[in-house]
Amino acid sequence: MHLRRLVVISNRVALPDAAGKAAAGGLAVALHEAFQAYQGLWFGWSGKVSAHPAAHPKIIDKGQVQYAVMDLTSLDRQEYYNGFANRALWPIMHYRIGLSEFSRADYAGYLRVNRSFASALAHLIQPDDLVWVHDYHLIPLASELRAVGIINPIGYFHHIPWPAPEVFGALPGSTELLRVIPDYDLVGVQTERDADNLRRSLVQELGAIHRRADLLDVGSRRVRIKSAPIGIDVNGLQQAAQRSGSGRLLKQTIAGLGSRQLIIGVDRLDYSKGIPERMEAFERFLVSHPEQRGRVTYLQIAPTSRSEVPEYATLSRVVNETLGRINGSLGEPGWVPIHYVTSTYSRAILAGLYRLARVGLVTPMRDGMNLVAKEYVAAQDPQDPGVLILSKFAGAAEELTDALIVNPNDKVEVAEAIQHALHMSQEDRVARWQAMLKVLWDSDVTRWAAAFIKDLAANKASRVRRSTGLKKESNDR
C-alpha cells in the first residue's frame, strides 16, 4: 500500500535539537525510533504558555519529519495538563482512587484543548495519512477529529495502565470517556490485562459486543483493542552500554564504588514508581543482612517531574525524609547507603550506569510498561550480566518473566530478592538474561511501531463504513 505520511499526535513533542539533554520520557525515545522509518508529522503542545496562542501551529521542518507545535494558555495548562490529565486521570489509571482530584472545570479544559488540537489538525491531515494518537492526555481526540470531518484511520496507544472497570468507573465522567473510544479504529494498550480491563468496561458500560477476540462493536462503530507492549531500541542501548566505559562520570562512579556492588533505580519522580517504598525495602535488606553494610551502594536517579502538581511536591518531601532517615541511621563514615540524584543523563551515561549495576531495582506500585526494566536488561554485559528485580505491577512483568518478580508492597520480599540477586550464580544470571534479551528483541521499538502502523493501515473496511456512517456517528455522541 502507498503510505504517504504518518501523523503522530502526543501531548509533548520532543524536538531533536531542543534541549541538548535527553528527554526523560519513554514516549520521546520510542517515537524518535518510529520516525526513522516513516515520513511524517509530529503534532503537540510546545510546552510553552502564552496569553494569546496562535490558532495555527508553528511548523518546524526537519526533512523526514515536520514538527507542529502549539502554545497553551496558562488556564489550559492548569486545567488540561496539571488538572484533569495529571490529577484526575493519572492516579485513576494507576489504581490510586484516593489521590484522584476531579473537577468539572478541569474536565471542561481537557475537552477544550482536545477540541482546539483537532481544529488545528483538520488543516494539516491529508486524505491518505495514518493518524496515531498517544496517551491519556488525548483520549477524546479521535472524537473531536471525527467531528471536524476526518475519516482517516486513527489509532490510539495508551502508555499507562488501563485499570479494572470498578476503578475506572470511580472517575466522574468515565462513561463519557469510554464513549469516545470507538471513534478510534485501533486502540493499543501495554498488556493483556489492560486490554481485558478496557474491553470489560466497554461491555459493561456501553453494551459493546465482542465480534472476534479483539474486535468490539459499540452501536454502529467498530474498534479493535489489542495488547501491543512497547519495546526499546535494543541495539542502540547495547552499543551505548558497550562504549560507555571511557566516560568521565562512569570512571568517577567506578572509582567511588571501589569493591562495592551497585544497585540502581532510575525513575521519574512519580508516586507510581514506588521510590520511598523501595528505599524502605533496601533499609530492610540492610537491617536483615548486616554483613552487607558497606558492601553495596544503592544509586537512585529520579529527575523531578510535574512539580506544579501538589502530590508531586509531597512525594519529593517524603523521598528526602526517607532518604535522610535511612542514610542517617545506617550510614557510616566513608559509606553512604543510598545515593540520590535528580539529574537527567544522556542515554550513553544511563546505559553505562545500568551495565555497572549488579542489580536493577524496578519496583513501581503500577506502571504501564516501564522502559527502564528493558533498558537495564539490554545494557548488561553478556558474560557477566546483572539481575533485574521487577514489580509484578509493571507491564514489563508480563514479558520479562525471568526477572525476580516481586510485590512492591512487600518490603521483606523485595529485601530478600536483593539478597538473592547479589548471591545469584553467574550461570543463573546468564540464563535469565539470555531469556529476557530474546523477549526484548521480539518487541524492539522499531518492530513495535511498524506492527502498530501495519494494523492501523489494515483498517480499510472500517474506514469505508465510517465515511458512510459519519453523520449517524456524530449524532450518537
Which residue of the set 94, 137, 158, 159 is catalytic? 159
User: Does 268 sit near ligand ADQ (CB under 6 A)?
Assistant: yes
Does 52 participate in catalysis according to the annotation? no
d(CA 418, CA 439): 23
Closest CA to 42 of 115, 98, 105, 125: 125
The binder of ligand ADQ chosen from 133, 234, 369, 418 (CB under 6 A): 369
Q: Does 266 bind ligand ADQ (CB under 6 A)?
A: yes
Closest residue to ligand ADQ in the complex (CB): 26
Say how far residue 367 (Cα) sits from the centre of its chain: 7
DSSP 260: P
The residue within the footprint of ligand ADQ, chosen from 27, 138, 189, 379 (CB under 6 A), is 27
| Helix or strand run (H / E) with residue 476 | helix 460-476
230 makes contact with ligand ADQ (CB under 6 A): yes
User: Whose CA is closest to 48, among 57, 39, 38?
Assistant: 57
**Total residues binding ligand ADQ (CB under 6 A):** 23
Cell numbers describing residue 389:
528485580
User: Phi and psi at residue 99, in whole multiples of 5°?
Assistant: -90, -10
Closest to ligand ADQ by CB, 293 or 447: 447
Contacting range for ligand ADQ; rule: CB under 6 A; set: 146-154, 174-182, 244-252, 369-377: 369-377
Which residues, at least 6 apart from 228, have a Cβ–Cβ distance to it below 8 Å? 157, 188, 189, 190, 448, 451, 452
Closest distance of CB 169 from ligand ADQ, Å:
22
Centroid of chain to Cα 424 = 30
Minimum distance of ligand ADQ from residue 26's CB (angstroms): 3
Catalytic residue among 71, 233, 367, 444: 367
C-alpha cell at 178: 469510554
Pick the binder of ligand ADQ from 6, 14, 24, 180 (CB under 6 A).
24
Instruction: Choose one: 37-45, 118-126, 281-289, 364-372; the region binding ligand ADQ (CB under 6 A).
Output: 364-372
327 binds ligand ADQ (CB under 6 A): no
Which residue, 301 or 406, is less far from ligand ADQ as judged by CB?
A: 301
Check binding of 264 to ligand ADQ (CB under 6 A). no
Determine which helix (DSSP H) or strand (DSSP E) holds 243, and give its type and residue range. helix 234-243
Is 214 a catalytic site residue?
no
- Contact between 301 and ligand ADQ by CB under 6 A: the answer reads yes
CB of 146 to ligand ADQ, least distance (A): 25
DSSP character for 335?
Answer: B
DSSP string, 397-459: GGT-TTSEEE-TT-HHHHHHHHHHHHH--HHHHHHHHHHHHHHHHHT-HHHHHHHHHHHHHT-
- Phi, psi (5° rounding) for residue 213? -40, -50
Among 68, 93, 154, 160, binds ligand ADQ (CB under 6 A): 160
Q: How far apart are the first and last CA of the chain?
A: 32
DSSP letter at 138 equals G
Q: Return the residue of 29, 118, 330, 359 that touches ligand ADQ, per CB under 6 A.
A: 29
The least distance separating ligand ADQ from the CB of residue 394, rounded to whole angstroms, comes to: 7
d(CA 268, CA 91): 15
Under rule CB under 6 A, residue 390 binds ligand ADQ:
no
Q: Considering the rule CB under 6 A, would residue 12 count as an interface residue with ligand ADQ?
A: no
Residue 188 makes contact with ligand ADQ by CB under 6 A: no
Active site members: 159, 367
Binding site for ligand ADQ (CB under 6 A): 22, 24-27, 29, 159-160, 230, 266, 268, 301, 303, 344-345, 350, 367-372, 375
